Structure 1
Amino acid sequence: MKKIFYTTSVLLLLLTACTSDDPNFNDNQDRSYDVAAETLLANAQRELADQSTTPDVNLNPFRFYVQYLASTQYPEESRYNVVTRNISNNLWNNLYRDVLGNLESAKEVIVADEALDEATRANELAIIEIIEVYTFQLLVDTFGDIPYSEALNPLNVLPKYDDDATIYPALITRLDAALTDLDEGAGTFTSGDILLGGDVAGWRLFGNSLKVKLGINLADVNPGLAQSTIESAVADGVILTNDQNVTFNYAPTAPIYNPIYAQLVASNRNDYVASETIVNRMNDLSDPRRTVYFQERGGEYVGGVNGGSNDYFEFSAPGVLFEAPDLPGVLFEATEVNFYLAEAAARGYSVGGTAEEYYEAAITASFDFWGVDGVEAYLAQPEVAYATADGDWKQKIGIQEWIALFNRPFEGWNEWRRLDVPSLEPATGAVAAADGAVPVRLTYAINEQTVNNTNWQAASTAIGGNRLSTHIFWDVE
């Protein structure tokens, strides 16, 4: 089956391309129309992992926004310039075209495959649904209102934008249906599922953990749905330990090595140093994870200025571990889920444990994931212990969650926007378009303004302006 590209601009170009009266004009004998669902699934998972993992400033500037990394000789993206490199276009196209487009094509192949029994077909379609929901959430959380209900119809080249607040409940409904369809006793993918190897039980944990993530994002705007979503997910089982993490296992050699390695090593460039914001905080806490996150400079951990042109050899570079070509890319992990549940417990939800228990489990899982000792002593520090750390539950959880999500830029940015912890000052030299603040969304893809202008304009008006400072619906403070 032909791979379909769903990005509106690409479709419009295809529909307005040159034509010919020759009936064989479009019959390219060198291409393959028959692509296995497993291949399409693997391609989608690879693209999703790459987009979520890479520090490439053309694709993923969020480590700058949440002040995990600072730039060296090319500071524009750390100053929130998203236009020069068309960052929004790149991210938009990668998720719509390369992830969702491949997944939709895989669905078509599975539906048309007469050799599949119905239970296997249901499992495979449910797995794809879970990844699609994950991807749509990334898009909503990045842009706000997005094409959703009409987005994946190849016959509609100008899809409308849906209200972001209405997309979340629809995603939860889809997840519930997919989880209902999963059958651990039935067949599933025997290849192509790079994330979980066709492990249906693992996909159930992934799907329920994604429900928790959706629910916790709704907590300040739709608390009833948030609570019911989270409690039902926990009752059915979520990711709580590192052996249940959902990771993309990169290869030690090209072309499938980790994109962090591509930027730190293979590029022969020195574009990133640690941000002073996170280094100073971790120094204050004597956090043992510094030995993994960063390299010492002169026997110390020293962070660069956010938005500055920092000397690579003066400030701490990212840790040596991140130079490994086969470092796994993480899409869901125990640290993340335990922090969500700590917050849920603090809000009074019934999730099988207390806020303190999940808080400590989250930090412990982070230490274990990075292979760092000393978690007991760390948790015993008055500045870290849940009972004595500064602030309310948002402050306690938010600071530790921000530190633990160091290599999860999308999630770190989400949690900073939602909890407003830590307090971040905008980068030095921030562009005027940032309105004097750290960005809380990306502006829409420029291609959408050109090709899908009427719907783009309606969406821009609906969200309160297509600006970096416009809040996503769940970001209420």
Structure 2
Amino acid sequence: MVSCNSDVLTNLNNDPNKIDYVIPSYLFTQIELGMPQTRGQLHQGMQYVATYKDVPDIGGKQFDYIPGFGFTIYSTQFNAIKQCMDALKMPEDVNKIALCRIVRVYGYHTLTDATGDVPYFEASLALNDVLKPKYDTQQAIYMDMLKELDEAAASLNPAMPTFAGADVFYAGDIPKWKKFAYTLMLRLAMRLSEKDPETAKKYALIAINGGVMSETGDIAYLKYSATATNPRAPYTEYQATQDPDNAQGQKLSSTLINQFKTTRDPRIYVLSVVWTKVGSAYVPDTTMASQKGMVPGSILGYPADFPTYSEYSPIWWNRETSPLIILSPAEAQLLVAEAVLKGWYTGTSEKAAYDLAVTRAMQQWALWPNVPSLSPNSSTIPAGAIAAYLATGYPYKTNGTVAERQEQISTQKWLSLLGDDHEVWSNWRRTGFPKFNFKNWEGSKPYPGSVTGGEMFRRLPYPDERATNNDNQQEALKRQGFPLDPSVKAQSDALLGRVWWDKK
């Protein structure tokens, strides 16, 4: 016993290939990589695509919803939030703490926008000591998120250390992070425009005056290498791989294709393709005249003309190097245009902000690498095509009614945020635009078996916490006016319930 080396014995069970402490820079990288985990899950509901099959995805025919979908939102976002809280515990400098606060808000707003009241103030404790956190009201959560962004953005200091290369968005560029924080603040402020316009105006002006995204270089996005695994970019179920059919029986929707063709939108050449068979090979047809969209919720069973419908171009679904945009100047400037429309901001005109937004939305396609072997077109949209679109294709309706201008701004958001379905869904719930028709079965009926009567659901159900946090969850459901009947599968009839800010 006395001859034993206590230091050696103490470390016998320590794995030399693992660490037992947090490295904030590594954690921050993981947080950024996890931010787009909810992309693509409402792709049918927002009518980018349509399908002939029964229930291949969530929201396309309002037929049913994936039972574990609400849990997926919770698990992915709370995991990111836990990582943020772990990083905030580290005795690091002001910039690193501010960035963790900013990305924590990003995760929380995705979560509360999808489901309503959620654990917030006690959530960090729930990940440690408090196992049954109370559900906070969405109003209280939003007030705190706006406060967090305000304080975090103000505290950012270019002279102080950052996460540097561990920051995969901006490599520690603090001026760009300020723009990210204020753009996110503007998004959240505008979310309250129908419910609490006074608070919305206050924070919209703080954000715009603080400086939101305006240049292409401001985009926050994830860029993958050609050799890296790219699990989220974009959506493999939409690939036809030069074949008339695909795993989900999906093609681009008539809602999207008709919008493109009516306005002569040059994005159609980058995004859309019809595969035609020439001999034994499939050849991509990207002419505008050939593009045709499938009417959402109108077909059951494989249609005879299925191969003639448009689908995503290989430029979009190129697995290896397609980027994932997290926040962009296109969205920022559309939000500015709306602030001007509401009379809140006078530093620019609606048209100037709209034109800049559309320009940036089209320019961002250059981030997608070309695929010469599969698509004849370039992802770079010529400046002349952008100018023509703004002049004669879909010019801003300066003399239109307020509703017409709001619709145009929201429609551009739908087009420019392609791939960020949750944000488009939230904006659609807030504004009512674009005007989607979900009742296309036999002309005007909801798809057979629709649990929502053909309406697009307005929230997602909570994961079942009856065994772990039932009292707090039931109290939150009751407070929001959602059903309490435990026999209702995953509270399915609360799909049409509205979260606090959804008052349109």
Mapped pair 1:44 → 2:31 = yes
Map 1:149-298 to 2 at 5 A: 149-153=121-125, 154-256=128-230, 258-260=232-234, 262-264=236-238, 270-271=247-248, 272-296=250-274
Q: Is the Cα–Cα contact under 8 Å of residues 67 and 275 in structure 1 kept in the other structure? A: yes
Compute the displacement of 1:360 (Å). Answer: 1.3
Distance in 2, Cα, partners of 1:64 & 1:459: 29
Over 3 Å counting, the alpha-carbon distance change for 1:407 and 1:189 in structure 2 is same
Distance in 2, Cα, partners of 1:395 & 1:434: 25
Compute the displacement of 1:260 (Å). Answer: 1.2
Q: Is the Cα–Cα contact under 8 Å of residues 94 and 160 in structure 2 kept in the other structure? A: no
Segment drifting more, 122-131 vs 179-188: 179-188
Which string of whole-angstrom CA distances, capped at 9 and with x for unpartnered residues, describes residues 246-304 of structure 1?
Answer: 11112222434543165456999543421121112222222111112221356521222
Over 3 Å counting, the alpha-carbon distance change for 1:66 and 1:449 in structure 2 is farther
Percent identity at matched positions?
A: 23
Q: Which residue of 2 aligns with 1:377?
A: 388
What is the one-letter code of the residue matched to 1:96? F
Map 1:420-431 to 2 at 5 A: 420-426=432-438, 429=447
What is the one-letter code of the residue matched to 2:395? V
Q: Which residue of 1 aligns with 2:70?
A: 88
Over 3 Å counting, the alpha-carbon distance change for 1:287 and 1:122 in structure 2 is same
Q: Which residue of 2 aligns with 1:452?
A: 469
Compute the displacement of 1:126 (Å). Answer: 0.3
Determine helix, strand or coil for the equivalent of 2:175.
helix
Compute the displacement of 1:85 (Å). Answer: 4.8
Segment drifting more, 273-282 vs 254-263: 254-263
Which string of whole-angstrom CA distances, capped at 9 and with x for unpartnered residues, describes residues 354-403 of structure 1?
Answer: 11211111111112112223122112227533236685321221222222
Query: Structure 2: which 5+ runs fail to align?
Result: 1-9, 277-286, 366-379, 442-446, 483-490
Q: Is the Cα–Cα contact under 8 Å of residues 238 and 251 in structure 2 kept in the other structure? A: no
Q: Which residue of 1 aligns with 2:55?
A: 75
Give the count of matched residue pairs. 434
Distance in 1, Cα, partners of 2:393 & 2:420: 27
Compute the displacement of 1:76 (Å). Answer: 4.1
Distance in 1, Cα, partners of 2:398 & 2:239: 42
Q: Is the Cα–Cα contact under 8 Å of residues 116 and 459 in structure 2 kept in the other structure? A: yes
Which string of whole-angstrom CA distances, capped at 9 and with x for unpartnered residues, describes residues 441-467 of structure 1?
Answer: 111123x34422111111112222151
Mapped pair 1:65 → 2:45 = yes
Compute the displacement of 1:434 (Å). Answer: 2.2
Distance in 2, Cα, partners of 1:385 & 1:83: 37
What is the one-letter code of the residue matched to 1:472? V
Mapped pair 1:322 → 2:316 = yes
User: Over alpha carbons, which structure has the higher Rg?
Assistant: 2
Map 1:300-315 to 2 at 5 A: 300-307=290-297, 308=299, 313-315=307-309
Compute the displacement of 1:104 (Å). Answer: 1.5
Q: Which residue of 1 aligns with 2:376?
A: none
Q: Is the Cα–Cα contact under 8 Å of residues 279 and 301 in structure 1 kept in the other structure? A: yes
Mapped pair 1:138 → 2:125 = no
Segment drifting more, 331-340 vs 35-44: 35-44
Q: Is the Cα–Cα contact under 8 Å of residues 397 and 404 in structure 2 kept in the other structure? A: no
Compute the displacement of 1:52 (Å). Answer: 4.2
Q: Is the Cα–Cα contact under 8 Å of residues 44 and 102 in structure 1 kept in the other structure? A: yes
What TM-score results when the alignment is normalised by the length of structure 1? Answer: 0.84
Over 3 Å counting, the alpha-carbon distance change for 1:184 and 1:445 in structure 2 is same
What TM-score results when the alignment is normalised by the length of structure 2? Answer: 0.80
Q: Is the Cα–Cα contact under 8 Å of residues 214 and 329 in structure 2 kept in the other structure? A: yes
Determine helix, strand or coil for the equivalent of 1:260.
coil
Determine helix, strand or coil for the equivalent of 2:86.
helix
What is the one-letter code of the residue matched to 1:94? T
Over 3 Å counting, the alpha-carbon distance change for 1:231 and 1:63 in structure 2 is same
What is the one-letter code of the residue matched to 2:497? T
What is the one-letter code of the residue matched to 1:364? T
Q: Is the Cα–Cα contact under 8 Å of residues 145 and 163 in structure 1 kept in the other structure? A: yes
Over 3 Å counting, the alpha-carbon distance change for 1:192 and 1:265 in structure 2 is farther
Mapped pair 1:352 → 2:352 = no
Q: Is the Cα–Cα contact under 8 Å of residues 270 and 313 in structure 2 kept in the other structure? A: yes
Alignment equivalent of 1:101, drawn from 65, 71, 82: 82
Over 3 Å counting, the alpha-carbon distance change for 1:421 and 1:81 in structure 2 is same
Over 3 Å counting, the alpha-carbon distance change for 1:161 and 1:216 in structure 2 is same
Determine helix, strand or coil for the equivalent of 1:185.
coil
Q: Which residue of 2 aligns with 1:439?
A: 457
Distance in 1, Cα, partners of 2:153 & 2:355: 29
Q: Is the Cα–Cα contact under 8 Å of residues 258 and 328 in structure 1 kept in the other structure? A: no
Distance in 1, Cα, partners of 2:64 & 2:237: 19
Over 3 Å counting, the alpha-carbon distance change for 1:262 and 1:402 in structure 2 is closer
Q: Is the Cα–Cα contact under 8 Å of residues 263 and 393 in structure 2 kept in the other structure? A: no
Distance in 2, Cα, partners of 1:196 & 1:234: 21
Q: Is the Cα–Cα contact under 8 Å of residues 383 and 389 in structure 1 kept in the other structure? A: no
